[in-house]
Amino acid sequence: MSIKTTFVLPRELYVELKKRAAEEGRSVRELVIDALLQYLSGSGRRGRLLEVLLAPVEGA
């Protein structure tokens, strides 16, 4: 079961998410879900979530 939610992101973060999603041929939704799952299963550091979302893509 999925839950629909709305949240506000800084414009720069959303631009990076859209760019990364396009480069990977994935949706922003998929990218956010993967990043959140990785964050929740890891050390719990907020910085790690930002690293995942903003890390450079090879070949970009």
Q: How far, in Å, CA of 21 to CA of 41, rounded?
A: 22
CB contact at 8 A, 39 and 3: no
In a domain, 46, yes or no: yes
Q: What is the pLDDT of residues 18-59, one digit of tens each?
A: 999 999 999 999 999 888 888 777 765 666 666 766 677 666
Q: What is the pLDDT of residue 14?
A: 92
> Range of 45's domain?
11-54
Q: What is the dihedral of CA 32, 36, 39, 45, to 10 degrees?
A: 80
- On the question of pLDDT at 15 being above 80, the answer is yes
In a domain, 48, yes or no: yes
Whole-number CA gyration radius for the chain: 12
> Which two three-digit tokens encode residue 52?
């995942």
Q: What is the pLDDT of residue 44?
A: 56
In a domain, 60, yes or no: no
Q: What is the pLDDT of residue 2?
A: 85
> Which two three-digit tokens encode residue 26?
């994935």
Q: What is the pLDDT of residue 46?
A: 62
Q: What is the pLDDT of residue 20?
A: 92
Total domains, the chain: 1
